[in-house]
Structures are given as structure tokens and as C-alpha cells.
A and B are shown apart, each in its own frame.
Chain A
Amino acid sequence: MLIDWNNFTPWTALAGGALIGVASALFVLFNGRIAGITGILGGLLRPKLRDISWRVAFIIGLIAAPLTWLLFAPLPDIQIDASNTLLAVAGLIVGIGTRYGSGCTSGHGVCGISRLSPRSIIATVAFMASGVLTVYVVRHVLGA
């Protein structure tokens, strides 16, 4: 295994992760909900009137994050190499898969593992494994 030391960013990764943890902590301790983006977004497609505003507020917060960041500093590099077609296909798969699996990196990976939920631990192992395998196939078998 070759580690990319030049791009390894342990401190910002830990600090950013801690902020994600703080956000999830605030959400469960003040609002009583799991900060899982799949559930928050998916619930909007099954709208219950008094349940819409807090979901929308959380998503607005996410969208506002880069704009808030820009008030203080330039954004770090964001590089998307995928074609528009591949993005559309991947988006569809992510949308369907996360709803069947009842969660994604935030709901299962962060909140679920923090709750020590066996379901979330299995889900996280599953999507990490298939993510790694997909990148392996795309980069090292197909050579894209």
C-alpha cells in the first residue's frame, strides 16, 4: 500500500470531522433528530406539513456553508473529474441505494456508528467496501 503523504491532511481531517460530530450532536441534543442527510432529504418526498421546515432549514445550512466559508477564506480545491452522464447515473444510484439502505455516510457512518448501532456498522462496512471495489474496478481494471 502506497500512502499519498503529500495530500494527507490529518489535522484538517480530524478538525473537520469533529465539526461534523458537533453538528450531529447539536441536532440530536436540541432537536432530537438524527443528522442523516438521506433521511432528512427523503422525508421531503413524503411531506408532512409540520415536518417540512426543519428539513429544509438543515439543507439550507449545508448549501450556505461554502458561502459562509467564502466570507472568511477562499474555498479549498474542489475537483470533479466525472462526466455529466456519469454524475447523473451515480446520483440516481446514490438516491435509490441510500433510501433502500436507510442512510448514507452521515446517518449510518457518523450518527449510527456513534450510537453503536449494528445496522449502521454493517451498512457502513457495505458501502465502504463497494465504494473501494468500484474505484478499484474503474481505475485499475478498466483503467479509466
Chain B
Amino acid sequence: MKNHISNTAALTFSLLSGLIFGIGLILAGMANPAKVLAFLDIAGLWDPSLGLVMAGAIGVGLIAFAVAKRRNLSYLGFSIQLPTNRVIDKRLVLGSLAFGVGWGLVGICPAPAFVLLGVGSSKGIIFVIAMVIGMGIYELLESFKKSGNK
């Protein structure tokens, strides 16, 4: 069993997955923040398209994860690592609520942010930098918490 997915085949599949994911986002309209906001604006002139994006993705995903759950090893021989945490806690709910606020303010979530980076949009670059700083703040807060517990 190999835990480190760092050989050429694995990197190729990483790159390919990211590429197909990004092309899917563009085709779906998710890379257009105005369209994302039109989906979230149910009290305005509502564009339900992104509900179908979720449906299409989950339709394929249900099959893939049903297969993945029955296997220990991937087709390349790596261990399949699915999340094991089943606790529904404040972190999960408050974190997700906060994420939704940021998403609702501008219509950008993490994956489309990188597509916007590839488009060369200066607004996309600003969002990505701020998002990475936000994730860095999380790491800092977590490390303070850990050292405080010692």
C-alpha cells in the first residue's frame, strides 16, 4: 500500500482532475460570479442553473463514491482516504455559515477562484490572496490553541 501519491501517474491524474474540474466549472457557469450570485438571489430574478450543476456532479459522484467505498486501494494502488470524522460540531456549522457569507458577498468559492486566476482577472488574484491569508490565519489560530493546551 502506498500512501504518498507522488509518482508520475498520480501527478498526471491530479493535474487531469484539476483540469477537468476547472473546465466543468467554466461550462457550468460557476466561474462567472454574477451567475453564482443570480443562483443565490432567490428573492430576485432567480437563475436556478447552479442547482443543476450540483445535480450533475452528484449524479456522477454517487456512483464513483459507491465504488470507492467498496475498495481499500485506488486503481493506482494508493490507499483510498475518505474522511472518518462524523462529529457534527460548532466548528463545522459556524465555519460553513461563515463561508456562505463570504461566498454570498462576491459569488466566488475556492475552486472557481483558481479558474479566475487562470483567466488573469486581477479581482480573482485579490480574492485568492485574501483566501490564502484567511487559511493562514486559521493555521495560526489553531497553533496558538494547541500551544495553549499544552
Known: A82-B33, A134-B101. A94 touches B65 (CB 8 A): no
Alpha-carbon distance A46/B83, docked complex (angstroms): 18
Q: Contact check: which of A17, A54, A59 meets B11 at CB < 8 Å? A: A54
Size range of the interface on A? 35 or more
B6 A135 Cβ-Cβ under 8 A: no
Interface string of B11-50 (1 = CB under 8 A from A): 1111111111111111111111111011011111111111
In the complex, how many residue pairs between chain A and chain B have their CB atoms under 8 Å apart? 510
Nearest Cβ in chain B — how far from A65, in angstroms? 2
Q: Contact check: which of A7, A126, A138 meets B38 at CB < 8 Å? A: A7
Q: Contact check: which of B15, B31, B44, B136 meets A139 at CB < 8 Å? A: B44
Main secondary structure of the interface of A (DSSP, over half): helix
Alpha-carbon distance A40/B30, docked complex (angstroms): 19
Q: Which residues of B contact A101 (CB under 8 A)?
A: 91-99
Q: Contact check: which of A1, A46, A57, A122 meets B15 at CB < 8 Å? A: A57
A95 B130 Cβ-Cβ under 8 A: yes
Most chain A beta-carbon contacts within 10 A, residue among B11, B46, B107, B130: B130
Interface string of B66-81 (1 = CB under 8 A from A): 0111000111101111
Alpha-carbon distance A134/B104, docked complex (angstroms): 5
Nearest Cβ in chain A — how far from B86, in angstroms? 6
Q: Which residues of B contact A8 (CB under 8 A)?
A: 47-49
A98 B110 Cβ-Cβ under 8 A: yes
B19 A64 Cβ-Cβ under 8 A: yes
Q: Which residues of A contact B111 (CB under 8 A)?
A: 37, 62, 104-106
